[in-house]
A and B are shown apart, each in its own frame.
Chain A
């Protein structure tokens, strides 16, 4: 990893926020993990396993927000279908975990997951083969979203579908997948999805250590993805991406095949979403077609909008804040959450087009100019 970092960052201005972010993220993670494992449960500083899992979930969302931000904030492509890539990654992981249950399921069938026995299936569908191997499942978790993104991008970007058209298309994509995954015949557990997982690579999913490790791995992956994204976006590739956002036709006229740039960025973004999904599933213990629903995908966009699009750190902050608010809200006033979320959409687009990070930099600038004025006076 350090090699990659070094390679990418060589000779470039390193991002102002990157290193501090990674350090803070890892430090907080380490502290939370240690306090969960080594402090007694009644200690004031003890972090409960519930909170650890919750934090792990937030970090997955943060990674997902990063994926959306890369494509929307940097390239101006508003994808309303990133939930599909997230869910596909999640399903890959879910299939692996399902196979790990083995004969401990309700029907005790060593080969077939419970729902297949229930449906009266005799053998494993072809696409379930190999999913009992962790490495294979993980390759699938990035390959399938990546492939879907590639095919979709190849079709959409080459024929120059842009703007709201593209957004609607991505939404239709995830909607079509939602309908498809609801079907029992698809072989993904239909309505109920995949759940009742027992263990992952031999560790019980119920144990504290596994949960803490999953959380730590998520944090680490987030850091890695963050650094890689930052480096990619600050390379000349990133500049071309920004150029595409600002004026795609101009970029084409200076000789960039912008469709290819968009396709690969879209694939990259989808892969990140897939990873986030794969990390998400063992922590929440279920994956069902609901993850494909268009509203989920659009909610991700608002995380990014709240945090501040076009900045990686903004996406992470937005995802954490909105999801924390959601947890609190749904606990206290479940009715009000949708009002709050809806209001957030409207207010952020109207008054905070650059999000919290944008507001912060704006305030910073104002203070600076003020102090300059004062010193001049």
Chain B
């Protein structure tokens, strides 16, 4: 009797109308940021052939923050981004998006669908397709095979793409092949692709490389305006640029965090002066 009751109960539970089955539930439905921290990176280690690219790295990013990562070449900035976005597997440690999404057991696509967007150091766009198509592909939509096979653009989506085209200043070039754009334009297009995908967390690797001072200023504006709704992590060598946007700066050195704080605090930090700002001239020009 009890067994039957138990079975019925579990069946009822299984067929609860207000819930979908766990295996049908979208895994990435919600990112829990109750504690106001969107990214937890703890005890991250990674070595390439004995070279420790990441060495027990701990980093916490608040929700809605704009964080700058600086550090000399080989400090582990890009590697950190690789691990967060699933490009590289780490040896040990944990990376959580919000409190509930373990990023280490997900692949690039799943991580991207969670709302983590990335812009690469070297602009990569789909060169054989038009600017518009590039943006269409980046739209925040269902990215399953069947969905893309039958989907078409809704007016809202077209408007969204138009808006972004205006923001990135490529409205006139919308039907141009992306491969025909200049280096700076490709940078913008890539930023546009990030914007249109409406991410929670943006990882931006050297956004202003190859941009004119004017464009750099615009980028700075854009990034600061994005922070708040979204969380932005910027890796940049250009100290002027960092100073103009940063509220909190994290200094990486040899795969771990050396210092964290405002730009002024960082600049007066003894360790930093020793290992990084001493080489500032070199860093700024690279």
- Spell out A's residues near B (CB within 8 Å): 10-12, 232, 235-237, 239-240, 242-243, 245-247, 249-258, 260-261, 264
Does any Cβ of A come within 8 Å of B7's Cβ?
A: no
A256 touches B87 (CB 8 A): no
Interface residues of B (CB under 8 A from A): 85, 87, 107-110, 112-113, 117-118, 120, 124-129, 133, 136-138, 143-145, 148-152, 193, 197
Known: A251-B137, A254-B112, A254-B137. A243 touches B148 (CB 8 A): no
| Complex: A247 Cα to B189 Cα, angstroms | 15
Whether A261 lies near B145 (C-beta < 8 A) is yes
Contacts of A236 in B (CB 8 A): 136-137, 148-149, 151-152
Point out the residues of chain B lying under 8 angstroms from A256, CB to CB: 109, 137, 143, 148
Given contacts A242-B126, A246-B128, 15 further A-B contacts (CB under 8 A): A10-B152, A236-B151, A239-B136, A240-B137, A242-B129, A246-B126, A246-B127, A250-B124, A252-B112, A253-B108, A254-B138, A255-B112, A255-B197, A257-B109, A260-B144
Contact between chains at B109 and A252 (CB < 8 Å): yes
* Contact B148 A235, beta carbon cutoff 8 Å: yes
Q: How far is the CA of A232 from the CA of B152 in the complex (A)?
A: 12
Q: Least Cβ distance of B107 to chain A in Å?
A: 7
Nearest-neighbour CB distance to chain B for A94, whole angstroms, equals: 32
Tell me which residues across on chain A come within 8 A of B113, comparing CB atoms.
255
A-B contact pairs, 28 of them (CB 8 A): A10-B152, A232-B149, A235-B148, A235-B150, A236-B151, A237-B148, A237-B149, A239-B129, A239-B136, A243-B126, A243-B129, A245-B128, A246-B129, A247-B127, A249-B87, A251-B126, A252-B112, A253-B85, A253-B87, A253-B108, A253-B118, A255-B109, A255-B112, A255-B113, A256-B137, A257-B107, A257-B143, A260-B145
Q: Give A264 to B144 CA distance when docked, in angstroms.
A: 11
With the chains together, A235 CA to B137 CA distance in Å? 11
Which residues of chain B have C-beta atoms less than 8 A from A239's C-beta? 129, 133, 136-137, 148
For the complex, what is the distance from the CA of A11 to the CA of B152, rounded to whole Å? Answer: 8
- A12: chain B residues at CB < 8 Å are 152
Q: Which residues of B contact A240 (CB under 8 A)?
A: 137, 148
Contacts of A254 in B (CB 8 A): 112, 117, 137-138, 193, 197
Chain A residues, CB < 8 A from B149: 232, 235-237
